[in-house]
Amino acid sequence: MSATLTIAKRELRANFDSPVAYVVICLSLIALGFTFFYYEGGFWQANRASFEMLFVYLPRGLSWVVIPVLTMRLIAEERRAGTLEMLITLPVKDHQVVLGKFLGTWAVVLGLIASTLLFPVLMFKFWHLGTLDWGPIFAGYIGLVFYSAAAVSLGLLVSSLTESQIIAFFVTWLLLLALHISGMFMNRVDDPSLQQILAFISFDARLVSFSRGLVTTRDLLYFASIAAMSLMASFRALERRKWS
């Protein structure tokens, strides 16, 4: 097994060795169920078989709770506790450490996203609530996979810049909050170029396209490039120790 996968496996296990991951995942699923079915009328009042709101609530829940909690310790805690020195002095390259940590945490988030597939499967396959257009569902999940890669890598980047988990949590939370709600301010600014920028960076605006069944390479590239740039920046931040 390569060093990257060994680190990813350890990260995955580390999440489930403490109760934090279980608590966060369970509470997230409960909160998601409540908001999806009951918040402002929820699914039952919509009078149509649509999961569009799932793809609005789920990424917000991930960005505002799950991903900051899971990513805050990734490098910050290792640096504070000194385990980073032990890890990096094993025969491993810095980029393998970054990639391994990213993959391990992304896998947890993907697991959580995958568990929400129970909603449409149980409702429309087992309980036969009606006919569902599965196209937007698959497109929405493709969007979530790409979005979660970008969000996790941003959290990893923030964690690599500090030794404090608390700082890492709040900075990641603020960053993801800003990226989600930037679209809301689009109509409140007069400057058209600023409007374009806010629309361009908005996570919500891009995720809405996926939830309606529209998979565009532009949106995929946006999330993929955020992930790639954040991982490269994390690598640089990790490498910085050599020369600081």
Partner 1 sequence: MIEAKGLSKLYGPFRALDKVSFQVKRGEVVGFLGPNGAGKSTTMRILTCFISATGGTAKVHGVDVFDDPLEVRRKIGYLPQRAPLYGEMTVWDYLQFTSDMRGLDPSTFKSRMKRIVEVCGLAKVLGKDIRQLSHGYRQRVGLGQALVHDPPILILDEPTSDLDPNEKAEVIRYIQEIGKDRTVLLSTHNLAEVEAACARAIIVSKGRVVADGPLSDIRAKSGTVRYLVTIHEQKLYEGSEAYRAGSTRRPPSSDEVSEALGALPGVQRVRELPTDDKAHAFELSGALGGDLREAIFQLVVQKGWLLLEMRRESQTLEDVFKALTRGDERADRGRPLLAEDDDAAAVGGAAAGAAALASAADEDEDEDEDEDEDEADEGDDDAAEENGGDDESDGDDENDDDGDDDDADDDAKGKKDGR
Binding site for partner 1 (CB under 8 A): 1, 3, 6-7, 10, 13-14, 17-18, 81-83, 85-86, 88-93, 241-244
Pick 105 or 148: Cβ nearer partner 1: 105
Read off the tokens for 27: 């509470």
Pick 96 or 116: Cβ nearer partner 1: 96
H-assigned helices in 74-128: 76-81, 83-88, 94-115, 118-121
Pick 127 or 243: Cβ nearer partner 1: 243
Min CB(147)–partner 1 separation in Å: 29
User: What separation in angstroms does the CA of 78 have from each of 102, 152, 191?
Assistant: 14, 17, 44
Pick 18 or 225: Cβ nearer partner 1: 18
1: exposed, middle or buried (Cβ count in 10 Å: 0-12, 13-18, 19+): exposed
Q: For residue 86, how many other CB atoms are within 10 A of its CB?
A: 10
What's the rounded Cα separation, in Å, for the pair 88 and 96? 10
Pick 21 or 144: Cβ nearer partner 1: 21
Min CB(7)–partner 1 separation in Å: 8
Min CB(6)–partner 1 separation in Å: 4
Min CB(105)–partner 1 separation in Å: 15
User: What separation in angstroms does the CA of 179 have from each of 28, 147, 236?
Assistant: 20, 11, 23
The distance of Cα 22 from the centroid of its chain, to the nearest Å, equals: 17
Residue whose tokens read 């990639």: 99
Min CB(170)–partner 1 separation in Å: 24
Q: What is Dmax (Cα atoms) for the chain?
A: 62
Min CB(238)–partner 1 separation in Å: 11
Pick 93 or 236: Cβ nearer partner 1: 93
What's the half-sphere exposure (Cβ side, CA atoms, 13 Å) at 85? Answer: 3
